[in-house]
Amino acid sequence: MLGIKENSRIIFVFDTDIDSNTSILKANIDSVKKYCKKPEIITIPQINNLEDELKRSTKVKKITDITKSKSISDFKRDFCRLTNCRNSLEKHNFDIKLLWNKKPKNNFSFVEQLSHKIKLA
Residue-level pLDDT, tens digit, the chain, 121 residues: 455 566 688 899 988 877 677 888 999 999 998 888 888 999 999 888 889 999 999 999 999 999 999 999 999 999 999 999 999 999 999 999 999 999 988 888 899 999 999 887 5
Structural domain count, the chain: 2
Are 92 and 112 part of one and the same domain? no
Are 94 and 104 part of one and the same domain? no
Q: Report the pLDDT value the prediction gives residue 94, as an integer from 0 to 100.
A: 96
Are 26 and 67 part of one and the same domain? no
Q: Report the pLDDT value the prediction gives residue 1, as an integer from 0 to 100.
A: 47
121: in domain: no
Query: In whole angstroms, what is the distance from residue 51 CA to residue 74 CA?
Result: 12
Q: Residue 24 is part of which domain span?
A: 1-47+100-116
Q: Report the pLDDT value the prediction gives residue 21, as an integer from 0 to 100.
A: 77
Are 39 and 73 part of one and the same domain? no
Locate all alpha helices (DSSP H) within 1-121, ordered by sequence.
Answer: 23-35, 50-56, 64-67, 72-81, 85-90
